[in-house]
Structure 1
Amino acid sequence: MYNQFNALTPASSPSSVVYGVVAGQEELSSSSTSLNLECRVCSDRASGYHYGVHACEGCKGFFRRTIRLKLEYDKCERRCKIQKKNRNKCQYCRFQKCLSVGMSHNAIRFGRMPQSEKLKLKAEMVTVDKEVENPQLADQKTLAKHIYEAYLKNFNMNKAKARSILMGKTNTAPFVIHDMETLQLAEQTLVAKMVGSVGAMKDKEVEVRIFHCCQCTSVETVTELTEFAKSVPGFSSLDLNDQVTLLKYGVYEAIFAMLASSMNKDGLLVAYGSGFITREFLKSLRRPFSDMMEPKFQFAMKFNALELDDSDLALFVAAIICCGDRPGLVNVAHIEVMQESIVQVLQLHLLANHPDDTFLFPKLLQKLADLRQLVTEHAQLVQEIKKTEDTSLHPLLQEIYRDMY
């Protein structure tokens, strides 16, 4: 089971704010000039707040040219790590990194930094000062950055990408699946690419085919979560049985937390964002299949209201996986130390990233309890489907569900 888990001169832009010379930023200008914030794309020194994120001049110009000239780069599957020294080598991955950290041509208007970003900037300035005095704070920031980078590297879909698609900011809109006819069209194109064994399911009932596709997506996400978990400091040094146990009980909680990013009140992105299946169509399926997704939509609407970004979600998912109260753990004390460290970093990160929502951390802890209930109900429904319907469970998922609750 574990193995399975297993050029041009940058020009000024209305979507740019340069530290120290921003209209309406008088209270920050003197401190901003000496502030050493990193570019969210390549980690070079940020020159200002450009297109919605702190970015260097190079990445600001690169993003501006790509958008204005509507450039399309040859697709790269290597997920290259973008750093200052190599940022010009892979333009495709560099642009994907720009999008994943939240760069958008419409992010800022009239050259002003939003009030929420002013508060974030102030918090970061205080953090920089404190790190000099408190090395532990610097270690916590390093841990947060490490987990965030592992999250961006290992998951095919993240919130920044999903919201960009859902808000219509991509070149190609997803294919909308809203009835049997559009589902059949999607199965011939989108699903065929995503699910290699779709041919074996062609004579099955539509509900069974959708259930099969959901399983395929879940298996892929479990694999991504396993690789992400290995990147969490201390996880790979745990007893092997404990690693398997943490993944067994944590993966579905993490899947449903991340699934919310691909949902809005009307539907859900599928097939890596190339398709969108409507909530009403899923509700129209016969029971018990119609009961499968509606609770996830209800959870997602409340979870998305917290307005977390990918850096928050990365730490939240790590906290879900490294949970010391899972049944059957061998080295509980060691895992609890890991969990405490991650939760503490999550709390500090939320305060810095969402300074105007001081109760966000306790709200998020409540979502952990909500996720456990959601997974319990989901596991019970899957067992019912397994007993009463003409379908089967993927062996990996069968192993996860066995003796879960």
Structure 2
Amino acid sequence: MSKKPTGAETISEALMRQNEEETVSEDEEPRACGVCGDQAKGYHFNALTCEGCKGFFRRAIKRSTQLRCPFLNKCSITKNNRRSCQACRLRKCQAIGMRKEMVMSEKEVLERRIRIKKKKMLDTPIQLSSQQKETIQELLCGHRRTFDSAFSSFSGFRPMDRIILSVSEYNQPTREPFNPLTNCPTNICTKTSKSATGPRTSSCANFLSSSSFCGSFEKQKNREGEEVTKSIIFTALPHLTDLTTYMIQDIISFSKSLQDFRSLTMGDQIALLKGATFEIMQIRFNMVFNAKTNIWECGHITYCIDDAVRAGFQPLLLEPLFKFHHTLRTLGLQEEEYVLMQAMSLFSPDRSGVQQHSVIDELQENLALTLKTWIDCKRTGPEKHLLYPKVVACLTEMRTMTEEYSKQVLQIQDIQPDDISPLILEVVSRNPCDDF
């Protein structure tokens, strides 16, 4: 209904009122379909039609057979009889301007639906599903029960020996095997710290640039009082063996706390653990790594890369490993992202000896999607778009180090067999075994 003008109404108000009245009258006026006279819902394929004629025109254009009128091609098309003659109905559709080139093909319809779906997804805030939240919570609980960054449960270990008692200079040939019983670099060992427990960081670069083992001879006296040399070459090996064994036991406990892991066969559980233990151990060590001081701060004990050299490990492993810890630490990962990394490493379907490939592949894919969704939900800033691929790159880089780690452990075991624990040997062994 129109409003009556008042004496106080201004010209602009009167014009606005008239525009509103015209708009209302236009909206209220029913619009008829140009084909059948039914109520039109809008312009379809370049003509004002109802929904029924719109659908009819689309189907008629796509059909392969030609429509024919059973009468004289002069049928009157109304709302009530529009289905009686398809040929005349199509002819009238074309007569009012409906264009067949505006009808999309099945491929175009599918592409349009995908675009609409993507737009809705972009417009809808990304959220973690209830299942993804449960997965993260399970991983966090298992991780916190099996990893103490203060290493308060790490006790009863053999002490760290950083003192070098006897050394001799050597030059390691390129193709000749190195004999640590007779060769040790004086430029490294003579610079050892006086403290048997304190960390040293000043010579980390020197250690990594060398291509040698480092160790010592321990001098003892026999019954006649003569000085004899005991072949303890890798002085830090006993302590680091105890530390590694402690870490492996916790990683096994972490894995067994996961329902998806327990649901696998025992053979696959062993295969996954043997393949992932080194990687998960490094991920956990990264959580206590100080990139500024190059120190692993494990509670009351601290370690540097020199200690790994004194345990017998060589630059072929230590150089990429040291770089890996710096790269991963600079990403500033949250605890949830660390535990998802561990789980992605654990559930790797391409480990040697794995049988349930499809099951484990699906588990890893779900974990990867959970990590990406977590980053999209919880992270802010432009750098979040590169975080997920960087995490995946770190996981890939570790895969290249696992085999070298196993190789070097077996080399160390050949030289100093009494100090490598059976659990470590089981991890690096290629033979299937259920000692776990």
Q: TM-score range by the shorter chain?
A: 0.5 to 0.7
8 Å Cα contact 2:279-2:399 kept in structure 1: yes
Asked whether 1:334 is paired with 2:334, we answer no
Deviation string, structure 1 residues 108-139 (Cα, Å, up to 9, x no partner): xxxxxxxxxxxxxxxxx956xx57xxxxx122
8 Å Cα contact 1:155-1:224 kept in structure 2: yes
Equivalent in the alignment of 2:196 = 183
Asked whether 1:350 is paired with 2:342, we answer no
Equivalent in the alignment of 2:276 = 250
Equivalent in the alignment of 2:339 = 314
Asked whether 1:304 is paired with 2:308, we answer no
Asked whether 1:359 is paired with 2:386, we answer yes
Deviation string, structure 1 residues 140-197 (Cα, Å, up to 9, x no partner): 122112211221121122xxx69xxxxxxxxxxxx9x7944211689xxxxxxxxxxx
Asked whether 1:149 is paired with 2:175, we answer no
Partner Cα separation in structure 1 for residue 410 and residue 315 of structure 2: 15
SS at match of 2:395: helix
Equivalent in the alignment of 1:59 = none
Deviation string, structure 1 residues 357-401 (Cα, Å, up to 9, x no partner): 111111111111100112222222222222234654211111111
The residue identity in structure 2 corresponding to 1:326 is: R
Displacement after TM superposition at 1:218 (Å): 1.4
Equivalent in the alignment of 1:380 = 407
SS at match of 1:146: helix
Equivalent in the alignment of 1:196 = none
Equivalent in the alignment of 1:91 = none
8 Å Cα contact 2:146-2:253 kept in structure 1: yes
Partner Cα separation in structure 1 for residue 138 and residue 265 of structure 2: 22
Between the two structures, name the one with larger relative contact order (CA 8 Å, sep ≥ 6): 1
SS at match of 1:276: strand
Q: How many residues align?
A: 243
The residue identity in structure 1 corresponding to 2:323 is: Q
Closer/same/farther in 2, CA of residues 273 and 351 from structure 1, 3 Å limit: same
Correspondences of 1:192-271 after superposition (within 5 Å): 208-265=234-291, 266-269=293-296
Deviation string, structure 1 residues 334-360 (Cα, Å, up to 9, x no partner): 111221221111111122232321111
Q: CA RMSD of the aligned region, Å?
A: 3.4
8 Å Cα contact 2:146-2:254 kept in structure 1: yes
Closer/same/farther in 2, CA of residues 261 and 185 from structure 1, 3 Å limit: closer
TM-score normalised per structure 2? 0.49
8 Å Cα contact 2:132-2:370 kept in structure 1: yes
Give the structure with higher Rg (CA). Answer: 2
8 Å Cα contact 2:237-2:312 kept in structure 1: no
Displacement after TM superposition at 1:278 (Å): 3.8
The residue identity in structure 2 corresponding to 1:331 is: Q
Partner Cα separation in structure 2 for residue 378 and residue 141 of structure 1: 34
SS at match of 1:269: strand
Equivalent in the alignment of 1:166 = none
Deviation string, structure 1 residues 194-250 (Cα, Å, up to 9, x no partner): xxxxxxx99767752312221211111111111111222311011011111100111
Correspondences of 1:80-95 after superposition (within 5 Å): none
Closer/same/farther in 2, CA of residues 179 and 354 from structure 1, 3 Å limit: farther
Displacement after TM superposition at 1:267 (Å): 3.4
The residue identity in structure 2 corresponding to 1:305 is: T
Partner Cα separation in structure 1 for residue 233 and residue 362 of structure 2: 44
8 Å Cα contact 1:283-1:294 kept in structure 2: no
Deviation string, structure 1 residues 79-101 (Cα, Å, up to 9, x no partner): xxxxxxxxxxxxxxxxxxxxxxx
Deviation string, structure 1 residues 236-287 (Cα, Å, up to 9, x no partner): 01101111110011111111122222223433336x42122344x4487496
Partner Cα separation in structure 2 for residue 223 and residue 284 of structure 1: 23
8 Å Cα contact 1:207-1:289 kept in structure 2: no
Closer/same/farther in 2, CA of residues 287 and 329 from structure 1, 3 Å limit: closer
SS at match of 1:302: helix
Partner Cα separation in structure 1 for residue 275 and residue 287 of structure 2: 21
Deviation beyond 6 Å, 4+ runs, structure 1: 201-206
SS at match of 1:219: helix
Partner Cα separation in structure 1 for residue 276 and residue 426 of structure 2: 13
Partner Cα separation in structure 1 for residue 198 and residue 250 of structure 2: 28
SS at match of 1:235: helix
SS at match of 1:317: helix
Closer/same/farther in 2, CA of residues 249 and 380 from structure 1, 3 Å limit: same
The residue identity in structure 2 corresponding to 1:395 is: P
Structure 2, unaligned stretches of length 5 or more? 1-123, 152-159, 163-190, 200-217, 221-229
Displacement after TM superposition at 1:321 (Å): 0.4
2:132 is aligned, of 121, 136, 140, to: 140
The residue identity in structure 2 corresponding to 1:226 is: I
The residue identity in structure 1 corresponding to 2:194 is: E
The residue identity in structure 2 corresponding to 1:385 is: I
SS at match of 2:340: helix
